[in-house]
Chain A
Amino acid sequence: MLAAVAAAGAMMAGAAGSPAAAQSAVHAPGAKMTHPADFSGIWKVEGQNGLRQLRPAYKPDWAKRYAEVRARLAVGNTEGDPTARCLPPGMPRALIFPYPVELLMTPGQVTVLTEYANEVRRIFTDGRKHPPEDEIEPTFRGHSIGHWEGKTLVADTIGLRPDTLINGTMAPHSDKLRVAERITMVGPNELKWEVTLDDPVAFTMPASFTIKLVRAAPEDEIREYVCLDSVPEAERKFDKAP
């Protein structure tokens, strides 16, 4: 028994010297090995995902802009939708999770791998802060930091590109959008993912939704999703419909 514990300790010490562990150590100096809850595994949405039809309460100029893009969308014009050009959905739209998502727990970090668009999100739980507001580079996934409140992972994301959309209704946001997530296991096979979006520039009040994730079947592997693989519509040889 003691020997086994010692051996496990030696293995961990050995792993710390491997390139992968060294990289973790660089990213998360002094990070604890353990998280209070283990979300590891492959998950899929069950039931409605409230993000899909979410319509934030907009300030008048943003409401006007939203109405304009929706009117264009209604007649087939997706101009302004980055995903129509195979760009990533970004946050929070990546939380649409149309296909399974894999969660990894490593020292100081929770990693979210989405099948849709092959996206990778890192939620740093090693105590670091966001970069200063004037230095942060707006990105598709933004900058995410997290901490644990009991067994709930509380994540905060800022630094989001204003040219991404909140969902397929083409709901816009500014570069001041903040995504707050609370992720809790409510059973061995169920995750509750509570999300609040706040955008003091575009919204009159925060907008919230909750996603229920359940474990995917063991054989349901995450598949490759390279968005630019299909023959583009522009290069496709269409006949005229009879």
Chain B
Amino acid sequence: MKDSQKPYGAAILAVVGTALMAFPAHAHHSQAMFDQSKDLTIEGAVQELQWTNPHSWLVVHVGEPGGASVNWQLEMGPPGKLSRVGMKRNTFKPGDKVTVRIHPMRDGRAGGQIVTLTGPDGHSFDDVR
């Protein structure tokens, strides 16, 4: 199984577009800090699910064997949005292996907005923004 050989491997499946300059980080309730023209898929282990308004955040740890380890801060909608697509505050637990497709942050920080989130059981949530 690919997963067991490369449990925390980061795989960039598609990167489209150009990185744009950063803006002051005041916009914690806007999608504008994410580059909607870029798609990036990462595989990693859940570190924490922050079930909060106005946005929930999933922190995903990606560690290359013998290499750098990165925590990705990944944004979703509020609990009211997520619960209506079937997610609960305990759906993702620390250590769960997940595959996440994101629109990455524009400024090169390890963050993004989740487009599709697939859990250890193979179930995908694709309307989480």
A99 to chain B, nearest CB (A): 5
Say what secondary structure dominates the interface of chain B. Answer: loop
- Per-residue interface assignment for chain A, residues 100 to 115, with 1 indicating a CB less than 8 Å from any chain B CB and 0 otherwise: 0000000000000001
Interface residues of B in 13-46 (CB under 8 A from A): 20-30, 32-35
Q: Is the CB of A238 within 8 A of B110?
A: yes
Q: Quick one: given A81-B30, A223-B80, A225-B78, are A233 and B25 in contact (CB under 8 Å)?
A: yes
Q: Which residues of A lie under 8 Å from residue B118 when comparing CB positions?
A: none
Q: Is the CB of B27 within 8 A of A233?
A: yes
Q: Which residues of A lie under 8 Å from residue B57 when comparing CB positions?
A: 230-231, 236
Task: Report the nearest B residue to A224, measured CB to CB.
Answer: B53
- Per-residue interface assignment for chain B, residues 59 to 89, with 1 indicating a CB less than 8 Å from any chain A CB and 0 otherwise: 0001010001011110000111101100000
- Per-residue interface assignment for chain A, residues 197 to 225, with 1 indicating a CB less than 8 Å from any chain B CB and 0 otherwise: 00000000000000000000000100111
A12: CB under 8 A from chain B? Answer: no
How many inter-chain contacts with C-beta < 8 Å in the A-B complex?
A: 111
Q: Which residues of A lie under 8 Å from residue B71 when comparing CB positions?
A: 237, 239
Give Cα distance in the complex from A81 to B20, angstroms: 20
Task: Report the nearest B residue to A82, measured CB to CB.
Answer: B29
Q: Is the CB of A230 within 8 A of B26?
A: no
Give the interface size class of chain A: 20 to 34
Q: Is the CB of A241 within 8 A of B104?
A: yes
Say what secondary structure dominates the interface of chain A. Answer: loop
Q: Is the CB of B109 within 8 A of A77?
A: no
Give Cα distance in the complex from A224 to B79, angstroms: 9
B120: CB under 8 A from chain A? Answer: no
B124: CB under 8 A from chain A? Answer: no
Give Cα distance in the complex from A81 to B70, angstroms: 32
Q: Is the CB of B68 within 8 A of A84?
A: no
Give Cα distance in the complex from A232 to B83, angstroms: 22
B95: CB under 8 A from chain A? Answer: no
Q: Is the CB of A226 within 8 A of B32?
A: no
B97: CB under 8 A from chain A? Answer: no
Task: Report the nearest B residue to A222, measured CB to CB.
Answer: B80
A188: CB under 8 A from chain B? Answer: no
A6: CB under 8 A from chain B? Answer: no
Task: Report the nearest A residue to B77, measured CB to CB.
Answer: A98
Task: Report the nearest B residue to A223, measured CB to CB.
Answer: B80
Task: Report the nearest A residue to B61, measured CB to CB.
Answer: A239
A101 to chain B, nearest CB (A): 12
Known interface pairs A83-B30, A241-B111; 16 further A-B residue pairs with C-beta atoms within 8 A, sorted by A's residue number: A76-B32, A77-B32, A78-B30, A79-B23, A81-B30, A84-B32, A86-B29, A225-B78, A225-B80, A229-B52, A231-B50, A233-B26, A234-B28, A240-B108, A242-B62, A242-B70
B residues sitting closer than 8 Å to A (CB atoms) are: 10, 20-30, 32-35, 50, 52-57, 62, 64, 68, 70-73, 78-81, 83-84, 104-106, 108-111
A residues sitting closer than 8 Å to B (CB atoms) are: 73, 75-79, 81, 83-86, 98-99, 115, 220, 223-227, 229-234, 236-242
Task: Kindly list the 4 A-B residue pairs having the minimum CB-CB distance in the complex, ordered from nearest.
Answer: A238-B109, A223-B80, A239-B110, A78-B30
